[in-house]
Amino acid sequence: IQNQNVLLMYHPDDLPYLRTIYETIVKDGKVAKSMPYRMLTNNGEYVKLETEWSSFINPWTMKLEFIVGKHQVVEGPATPDVFKSPAPAPAKLEDTSDMDDAMSMVADANRKMIEEILMNVHTKPEEKAKQPINKRRQELAEFMDNLLNDQAKAEKVIKVDIPEPKANADKDLALLGGISPHYDSDGKSSTETFMS
């Protein structure tokens, strides 16, 4: 499947439905789950899939970068060996070739429309992506405004007189044994006392 155009792998009859899917992806950014559609396998048969679609919008350019599809197989192909080489196509009658040409022209037109949808620069997710940025800017402005108002309120200092503790309060503390290593009975510091 690598290096192949996925639009060529869709069944031609499912292309109009898939066009609406791609329109929804570009507009809304995701599709919850698609209806079953057919995709070509390597052996030339089709497998029915249901897909959960999502897209990635580049946050810097706000453009659609890629689309991700999580596929679930609903119905496998008639020949389960999907890696087998395709069988040669049988010879066609001339009456059916005109019908096939008309169908292939319609399928090509649908593929071209899908490509144009994907090339559309202005997507709705772009607008949605800008909304959170604007919201964050507004929240930041409100936060800064509140911060400045709080700072102005803090500058209005409320003065409360707190009584100072007594200087000799720690001498009055009762110590175990009545001896303090920090104070002697005269109030002299420990550097002025004699060694015992």
pLDDT tens per residue across span 7-43: 888 999 999 999 999 888 888 877 878 899 999 888 8
What pTM value is reported for the model?
0.55
Residues β-bridged to residue 113: none
Query: What pLDDT is recorded for position 70?
Result: 92
Q: 15 lies in a domain?
A: yes
Are 53 and 34 contacting, i.e. CB atoms less than 8 angstroms apart? yes
| Amino acid found at 70 | K
- Coil, helix or strand at residue 50: strand
Q: 174 lies in a domain?
A: no
Q: 147 lies in a domain?
A: no
Q: Is the pLDDT reported for residue 113 higher than 70? A: yes
Q: Highest-confidence range of 57-61, 112-116, 122-126, 154-158, by mean pLDDT?
A: 112-116
Cα 109 vs. chain centroid, distance in angstroms? 33
Residues 129-178: tens digit of each pLDDT: 566 777 878 888 888 888 877 776 666 656 667 777 665 555 555 555 55
DSSP letter, residue 10: B
Number of domains in the chain: 1
Q: 39 lies in a domain?
A: yes
Q: 115 lies in a domain?
A: yes
Q: 41 lies in a domain?
A: yes
Query: What pLDDT is recorded for position 136?
Result: 78
Please give the residue range of the domain that contains residue 113. 6-84+99-128
Task: Provide the CATH number for the domain around residue 80.
Answer: 3.30.450.20
Tokens in use for 93? 């009658």
Q: 149 lies in a domain?
A: no
> Given the structure tokens 């570009």, which residue do they identify?
26
Q: 63 lies in a domain?
A: yes
